[in-house]
Structure 1
Amino acid sequence: MGTFFLALAALTIAAPLTPFAVGLTLLVFVYAVGSLSGSHLNPAVTVGLMASRRFPLAHGLLYLVAQVAGALLARFVAGAGLVGELGHSYQAGPAAAEFLGFGILMITVAATTEKQVAKAGSGIAVGGALLAGLLVSHGVLNPAVALAMGLATSPAVWATLLSAVVFSLLFSVIERTKPAEVEDGSAPTPKAQADDSK
């Protein structure tokens, strides 16, 4: 359902408002269904989370099917003129731009799954990250939405998937090297670490 509305916003909202509409849609769904499904509206995000073992493989494959189905349904609805004109100005960006733009989103999603961001702020964080990534890349940043737009063969789609895996694994490495947390959730001071080593 979420990917359907996300793709519908991308297909029917004219530029320059498209990134804002897509970012706002994601923000809404993170709040609305985040506790039920994790708000997986992007196949690349799902692939990245599976690659870094943050999401079960079996569930991830089912999510991928649902995401693609939702995007294709949005394409049908938009193409049939049921919700306004089908936009034609939103295109895949250069592969490098899609790679870097999606990196912003993937790092943020990985952080929220590790509870680095308070639950109440995760919608703003992820929606804002998508908006920032879209403004950086001027692209799609979602393979399911790209499929709905007829851009599935674009190199940018593969760049997005590669970015998802690379940045998710990169975050995992960073996560493992952070200082150990104490009970109140704050990092221990150098003095506390020295005392512990005695």
Structure 2
Amino acid sequence: MKKTCYCVLAEVIGTFWLVLGGCGSALIAAHAGGGGIGLLGVSLAFGLTVLTGAAALGHISGGHFNPAVSIGLWAGGRFGAARVLPYVLAQVAGGLLAGFALFNIVQGDPWFLLDPTAPGAFASNGFGPLSPGGYSLTSAVITEVILTAMFLIVIMGVTRNRAKGSIAPLAIGGALTLIHLISIPITNTSVNPARSTAVAVFAGPGAMSQLWLFWLAPIAGAVIGALLYRLMDRNTPQA
């Protein structure tokens, strides 16, 4: 019980860090000074939050920081069913705390204007009129499912045994960076329901009305990826 509490706390902190670093970079630094860090910088920021968070907290909770990852690892036989709900609740709580912190930080910028009808408002995810590139619902579904599936394949592969454990945060952070480079123009990149929820509640009714997709598609993709990896792993002779 005591260990579970520490795991839950680690997931709160790790998800807080992911949303603060990733969404904070998008909100504050992406266009700072007329130039800012842009798409590449924001993508790296998300990757770095996972890299550093997993390196710091992975030995405590596994460093999921994402409901889709927890559910995917359960589907892949790597995570106990009884721990899924506490992890998901912790991840959503950590994300919302970071969203609340960011909302109060940006209020201090006299030029900040929150337009709930704008694509990517408050770093939110969206499709159709709320997609940064105007991409359709179908494009968003395909993108989120495939990229989350690949994310789980990477996670399960690099955590296959302890010998690979030292490179796991780097590989997972690199995968998340690549995912953002591909999909920021399409959905503003979710692959993480907690990250999407954390900003949607502050972005307004538009983002909230589309939030369902950024729960269903990443979870579906995570389960598909985990099951594919589990199938391959079971049927591959061990060295």
TM-score range, shorter chain: 0.7 to 0.9
Secondary structure at the aligned position of 1:88 is classed as helix
Q: Does the CA contact (< 8 Å) of 2:124 and 2:196 recur in 1? A: no
Q: CA deviation at 1:100?
A: 1.5
- The match for 1:189 is none
Q: CA deviation at 1:136?
A: 2.1
- The match for 1:10 is 22
- Structure 1 residues 169 and 117: alpha-carbon distance in aligned structure 2, compared to 1, 3 A threshold: farther
Structure 1 Cα separation of the partners of residues 14 and 107 of structure 2: 17
- Provide the TM-score with structure 1 as the length reference: 0.83
Q: In the alignment, residue 122 of structure 2 is paired with which amino acid?
A: H
Query: Which of 103, 106, 125 is 1:91 aligned to?
Result: 125
- The match for 1:179 is 237
Larger Rg: 1
Structure 2 Cα separation of the partners of residues 39 and 116 of structure 1: 15
Structure 2 Cα separation of the partners of residues 31 and 13 of structure 1: 20
Q: 2:149 aligned with 1:103, yes or no?
A: yes
Secondary structure at the aligned position of 2:105 is classed as coil
Q: 2:219 aligned with 1:161, yes or no?
A: yes
Q: Does the CA contact (< 8 Å) of 2:159 and 2:168 recur in 1? A: no
Q: CA deviation at 1:179?
A: 1.3
- The match for 1:19 is 43
- The match for 2:93 is 69
Query: Which of 167, 181, 189 is 1:135 aligned to?
Result: 181
- Structure 1 residues 46 and 21: alpha-carbon distance in aligned structure 2, compared to 1, 3 A threshold: same
Deviations along 1:110-140, one digit per CA (max 9) or x if unpaired, are: 1133228612111111101111122222212
Deviates more, 1:167-176 or 1:75-84: 75-84
Structure 1 Cα separation of the partners of residues 219 and 45 of structure 2: 22
* Structure with higher helix content: 2
Q: In the alignment, residue 17 of structure 2 is paired with which amino acid?
A: F
Gaps of 5+ in 2: 1-12, 31-38, 113-120, 128-139, 201-206
Deviations along 1:12-50, one digit per CA (max 9) or x if unpaired, are: 212422221010010001111111111111110000011
Q: In the alignment, residue 148 of structure 2 is paired with which amino acid?
A: F
Q: Does the CA contact (< 8 Å) of 1:92 and 1:146 recur in 2? A: no
Query: Which of 143, 167, 171 is 1:121 aligned to?
Result: 167
Q: CA deviation at 1:154?
A: 4.3
Identity value in percent = 33
Query: Which of 17, 29, 33 is 2:53 aligned to?
Result: 29
Q: In the alignment, residue 100 of structure 1 is paired with which amino acid?
A: I
Q: Does the CA contact (< 8 Å) of 1:10 and 1:145 recur in 2? A: no
- Provide the TM-score with structure 2 as the length reference: 0.69
Gaps of 5+ in 1: 182-198
Structure 1 Cα separation of the partners of residues 108 and 223 of structure 2: 36
Q: In the alignment, residue 173 of structure 1 is paired with which amino acid?
A: L
Provide the aligned length of Structure 1 versus Structure 2: 181
Q: In the alignment, residue 141 of structure 2 is paired with which amino acid?
A: A
- Structure 1 residues 43 and 170: alpha-carbon distance in aligned structure 2, compared to 1, 3 A threshold: same
Q: In the alignment, residue 141 of structure 1 is paired with which amino acid?
A: V
